[in-house]
Structure 1
Amino acid sequence: MISPEENKVGFIGLGVMGKSMATHILNAGFPVVVYTRTKEKAESLVQLGAKWAESPMEVAAQANIIISMVGYPSDVREVYLGDKGIIANGQPHSYLIDMTTSTPTLAKEIYDEAKRKEMYALDAPVSGGDRGAREATLSIMVGGDQEVFNKMKPIFDLIGSTIVYQGKAGSGQHTKMCNQITIASNMIGVSEAIIYAEKSGLDPETVLQSISTGAAGSWSLSNLAPRMIEGDFEPGFYIKHFLKDMRIALDEARKMEIEMPGLTLAEQLYSDLANVGEENRGTQALYKYMSEKC
């Protein structure tokens, strides 16, 4: 059993989702040390009792369970594999949990390097957005050794409600690619449905009452379509990060010689959005872009 008395949790990355995730762990009684590039983002956690660290290296020196939720694979590589990173400066027998959506190849590389240093690494990307992070209902998909997953399951239980071990190192990231592929085409359909409802003279909110619980139902339809209707394009998940995920999935698909026409179209549309300065909007801003072209 993982107890707050015998373990200290390090959390790196306090963005839209990371801050809520770290807060749940802190509220469960675990001592938590945090690092993020913008120190101001850590202030609320520090006020709750978290300790501030000046770098991932400092986190690694203090914590034996380290969780990261950063932006891009390049950030993950720096945090874990850099000279001032976690693996080079951490304690033997530490548990390393990367919850960033990153590449399966990098997840395997981190696993191998951690094992060489007598550390235990899991890739554990999540789905559920800002709301799932706030409500601790994230879906967590985990790759790595089964016994390490079992050991860390109580930590996952603090931040998620659907926690599934997927297999060897990299399997969590491959599963997240399946998740993002599904969402990518679905977001086009959700946006088109709301536009169609409006153009045909229907009340889109009333339409949602009928279609959200039928065969068309999806997380995006239930959670993001209302934001589209309200004109709320604030990020629960950034367009720039969704583009990163889609490009990872397309690259992995090419390696496996799989054609992805739906994902390819979605990546093109979101690239257009980013090119007009919308990369920091939420993914639901696709509706705005498509409706303006109608």
Structure 2
Amino acid sequence: MTDKNIGFIGLGVMGQSMAGHILAAGYNVRVYNRTKQKADALVEKGAVWCDSVADLAAASDVIITIVGYPADVEEVFMGPSGILENAPSGALAIDMTTSDPALAQNLWQHGQQINIGVLDAPVSGGDLGSRNASLSIMVGGEPEDFERALPIFKIMGANIVHQGKAGCGQHTKMANQIAIAAGMIAVCESISYAKHAGLDPETVLESIGKGAAASWSLNNLGPKMIQGDDAPGFFIRHFVKDMGIALSAAKNMGMKTPGLDMAYTLYKQIEEQGDGLKGTQALFQLFK
């Protein structure tokens, strides 16, 4: 284990489990979160609390971040108290937030100037994937940095792919979110149709969930829609953020994204109703 000291920033729904897996694997883990109480369980298990991003970065070989928004990523990476100003030369910084591809490229360029490797490595799989260490991890950055990070990625995920240069991980995650966005509308419409036709939607899922219509969203979130369970595995407000990034990137590439446009409009409606902290399956509310 060459990189023994791991710093982890962001202990939300997914970060808690991800940091916990790294700690359980025998690494020295330092943690930082805006809300200190969220670190208590990990500290009890042996993680070390740091009072600032700067302190954490200075004591780490590898720094992992999974925060909320691109602005949060920029805050923890840049400036006098950020990762890039305080991490030792030769360190590796890995941002696992779903963020802006252009920002990922910018952080990589800054890192190159000061001998700090930077990877963008967003994930898919939600809270279940983080708990089960079965996340899909999409990585952009230098091949040698990817190989260095691979033992750590394998602790958190089951499907780990190097997608290319800096920013490619984030572009891959945008493709993932676009596929999910349109798919969620289809799942809602399908279950709504079954109900209107007088069918038992749970019995319908037994059939279509094993056929050509099968998808992760249908089989994992469909039952939650039927049960009225809106508990978050992934917050609506974060999904709206992701779709906004994807829409902006697509526009810059001259693309049309009608499915994404519709999904963004509907999810924005749910968020504006005050339901941004519900799970993405709460979209079904609009189809009842």
Fold conserved between structures, TM > 0.5: yes
- Say whether 1:82 aligns with 2:69: no
Write the deviation string for residues 95-153 of structure 1: whole angstroms up to 9, x where unpaired.
10000000110001110111111110100000000000000000000000011101110
3-state secondary structure, aligned to 2:226: helix
Equivalence for 2:268: 271
Task: Structure 2 unaligned segments of length 5 or more: list them.
Answer: none
Equivalence for 2:29: 32
Task: Structure 1 unaligned segments of length 5 or more: list them.
Answer: none
Aligned pairs for 1:220-239 within 5 A: 220-239=217-236
Q: CA deviation at 1:82?
A: 2.3
Which 4+ stretches in 1 moved above 4 angstroms? none
Equivalence for 2:251: 254
Aligned pairs for 1:198-209 within 5 A: 198-209=195-206
Distance 1:237 1:83 in 2: 32
Equivalence for 1:9: 6
Distance 1:193 1:14 in 2: 35
3-state secondary structure, aligned to 2:160: strand
Equivalence for 2:145: 148
Q: CA deviation at 1:75?
A: 0.1
Equivalence for 1:46: 43
Q: CA deviation at 1:61?
A: 1.2
- Say whether 1:124 aligns with 2:121: yes
For these two proteins, the number of residue pairs brought into alignment is 288
Distance 2:88 2:188 in 1: 48
Match for 1:159 among 124, 136, 156?
Answer: 156
Q: Which amino acid aligns with 2:133?
A: A
Q: CA deviation at 1:73?
A: 0.1
3-state secondary structure, aligned to 1:277: helix
Equivalence for 1:136: 133
- Say whether 1:243 aligns with 2:243: no
Distance 1:159 1:148 in 2: 17
Equivalence for 1:20: 17
3-state secondary structure, aligned to 1:182: helix
3-state secondary structure, aligned to 1:224: helix
3-state secondary structure, aligned to 2:218: helix
Q: RMSD value over aligned CA atoms?
A: 0.8
